[in-house]
Structure 1
Amino acid sequence: MSDVMELRRRFLESGADDDLPIADAHQHFFDVGRNYYPWLADKPVKNFRYGNYDNIRRTFLPDDYFRAAGHHKVVKTVLIEGEWNPADPLGELRWVESLQREQGFPHAMSAQAWLDREDVDEVLAAYGRHPLVRGIRHKPAAVPRAEHRDDFVAPGSMRDPKWRHGYAKLRAHGLLFELQVFWWHLIEAAELARDFPDTQIVINHTGLPSDRSEEGLHAWREALECVAREPNVHLKISGICIPGKRWSVESNGAVVRTAIDVLGAQRCSFASNYPVDGVVDRMTDIFDGFKAIVRGYSVEDRLRLFYDNTARVYGI
């Protein structure tokens, strides 16, 4: 902790990128030889948003992560469930706990849970008792944009009564909710946030703004503005890679600035989404890009975006 405080102090004085401490709000570790991740071990997922992901279907542990981080001063990380074997959700926690004990990372995790399954009480109770777990992720049912309607509801969706019954249990266990969903479903997320105001929602991957047309970005911004009206919503800026293109300030600068403009610098966190975003580019380039995009912001806001907000939301 003293090293982190020294880095914070130094950065607030210098404003230099090299002094900026990072708390990575969204990263993964995988051990494909020891553990079972269906999407990595079995036939590749069709229509994966970045295209072919063969190069990340491998073991990725703390040593690999810090080699990828290079010169960036990542001092804390939050591990997000890695789509571990759904038959054994608590198994991932046991493995991550041993990893943290041996190597000191991650500092917190959001674990796998299935809100509409019969084991939800047992799983959430175990997570609520564990000092490493801050929240859970269950990707709700979604449809392509062309099929979406304002009254959308389906089994496993954010409007499904059974799913919501499980969601209502998060508050009692002190757990936040990691929401990974296409932006056109954020109207449902806004309803969820209003109906359960004591549960923190953390939107993953910037709401997935994959359509970079003028119309697509305008609609994405409107969706963000809708959900941003709810004070219990936080946004992770990550996962904005464009398939087949290197990560660049030119491609992603407007997306990053829009997200911060809508949510504010106190409600956004930068994250690597590594190794998944490694399908497209190196972590060093991604963090270099984030730093370049916000270089004109105040030192206080830059520190919030890279470190303080993540530390606050995840209690690390």
Structure 2
Amino acid sequence: MSDTRAEIPIIDAHQHFWNLSTNYYPWLQDPDPIPFRYGDYSALKRNYLPADLRRDIGSYRVVKTIHIEAEWDRSRPVAETEWLHDLSRREGLPTVCVAHAALDAPDADETLYRQSRVSIVRGIRHKPTAAGSPGEAKRGAPGSMDDPQWRKGYAILGCLGLSFDLQTPWWHLDAASELARDFPNTQIIINHTGLPADRSPEGLAAWRSALEKVATCPNIAIKISGLGQKGRPWSLESNAPVIRDAIAIFGADRAMFASNYPVDSLVASYGTIVAGFLAAIADRPMAEQYQLTHDSAERIYRL
């Protein structure tokens, strides 16, 4: 990579911190592990703080980061945000955050209001109910994007000027399209490239079709991240076509780089992920490369 490419500014649009010595993260601290798409995640059960991220970033020019809620104790969602606010003031990272609120909870309005009052909050993530495979996917499940109670909470986001980070498999993006059209003033950011876990020709074709349909909604963007595969190291050969397809579908102005660190340390070093992404977009005009690594995230997350 040339010196110019090494200096390209990066906003990491999806990263996590946790301090297991002082805070409670059930998935990292409870004795029974959760089902996890990368398999064994025991290597994540350690503190991960700004100094660790800076070490992993190395010489890359990461100028800002966006912290996504890390499944902190669900009974105290605002406590994570307050901890991150203090961390940001002390350490300079994260720059902003996406907080958690259970949109279908009876007190969703109160939680959303409290989250919105913290200055570093830009949006909310609450993973809707999802089926385990395309064949199991059905519309209208409780806790899904179709659920009237879930939508009641979602409707508050626009009133508070908050965006929504959507983590759901691609086979639920039809519901996301309807959500986007029903609430056109709320920005949706799809997490982890729509989770294209099935890399067979048929699986990728279905993933592309789902992205093409949801990308017709102008208020939906996508984060290109989370491309690891269970039992396999991150590779440019397997991931470059996915990266390029996602960008071709959404355009450089609605797509952005994200590391998903430290979760994706299970499949690659930070440098491998950044270098792979930059290699995959190297044939694009420099202005588009800057959009993908920096400008789109800056605009969409209102940095």
In the superposition, the TM-score normalised over structure 2's length comes to 0.97
Give the direction of change, closer, same or farther, for the CA distance of 1:301–1:38 in structure 2 (3 Å limit). Answer: same
- Mapped to 2, the partners of 1:58 and 1:156 lie a distance apart of 31
- Mapped to 2, the partners of 1:62 and 1:144 lie a distance apart of 34
Pairs aligned (count): 302
Moved more, 117-126 or 87-96: 117-126
Mapped pair 1:91 → 2:79: yes
Per-residue CA deviation, residues 146-180 of structure 1 (Å, 9 max, x unaligned), is 5434x521110000000001100101111000000
Mapped pair 1:183 → 2:170: yes
How big is the shift at 1:16?
1.8
Q: Which runs of 5+ in 2 are unaligned?
A: none
- Mapped to 1, the partners of 2:84 and 2:118 lie a distance apart of 12
How big is the shift at 1:139?
0.1
* Aligned residues of 2:134 and 2:171 also touching (Cα < 8 A): no
Per-residue CA deviation, residues 61-106 of structure 1 (Å, 9 max, x unaligned), is 0000011111211110000000000000110011001101101111
Moved more, 140-149 or 48-57: 140-149
Per-residue CA deviation, residues 96-150 of structure 1 (Å, 9 max, x unaligned), is 011011011111100010001122111111122222100000000011225434x
- Mapped to 2, the partners of 1:148 and 1:176 lie a distance apart of 28
- Mapped to 2, the partners of 1:250 and 1:197 lie a distance apart of 37
* Aligned residues of 1:141 and 1:156 also touching (Cα < 8 A): yes
- Mapped to 2, the partners of 1:305 and 1:87 lie a distance apart of 36
Q: Which residue of 2 aligns with 1:195?
A: 182
2:43 paired residue among 43, 55, 59 = 55
Q: Which residue of 1 aligns with 2:250?
A: 263
- Mapped to 2, the partners of 1:310 and 1:167 lie a distance apart of 22
Matches within 5 A, 1:117-266: 117-149=105-137, 151-266=138-253
- Mapped to 2, the partners of 1:16 and 1:207 lie a distance apart of 31
In the superposition, the TM-score normalised over structure 1's length comes to 0.93
- Mapped to 2, the partners of 1:266 and 1:107 lie a distance apart of 21
Q: Which runs of 5+ in 1 are unaligned?
A: 1-13
Per-residue CA deviation, residues 237-265 of structure 1 (Å, 9 max, x unaligned), is 00010112111110101000000000001
Per-residue CA deviation, residues 202-242 of structure 1 (Å, 9 max, x unaligned), is 00000000000000000000000110000000100000101
Q: Report the secondary structure of 2:252's partner residue.
A: coil
Q: Which residue of 2 aligns with 1:10?
A: none
- Mapped to 1, the partners of 2:85 and 2:68 lie a distance apart of 13
RMSD of the alignment, in Å?
Answer: 1.2
How big is the shift at 1:58?
1.0
* Aligned residues of 1:110 and 1:133 also touching (Cα < 8 A): yes
The letter of the residue matching 1:278 is S
Matches within 5 A, 1:91-110: 91-110=79-98
- Mapped to 1, the partners of 2:32 and 2:7 lie a distance apart of 40
Q: Which residue of 1 aligns with 2:302?
A: 315
* Aligned residues of 1:148 and 1:184 also touching (Cα < 8 A): no
* Aligned residues of 2:85 and 2:118 also touching (Cα < 8 A): no
- Mapped to 2, the partners of 1:180 and 1:100 lie a distance apart of 24
- Mapped to 1, the partners of 2:226 and 2:95 lie a distance apart of 21
The letter of the residue matching 1:143 is A
* Aligned residues of 1:15 and 1:299 also touching (Cα < 8 A): no
- Mapped to 1, the partners of 2:108 and 2:221 lie a distance apart of 24
Q: Report the secondary structure of 1:169's partner residue.
A: helix
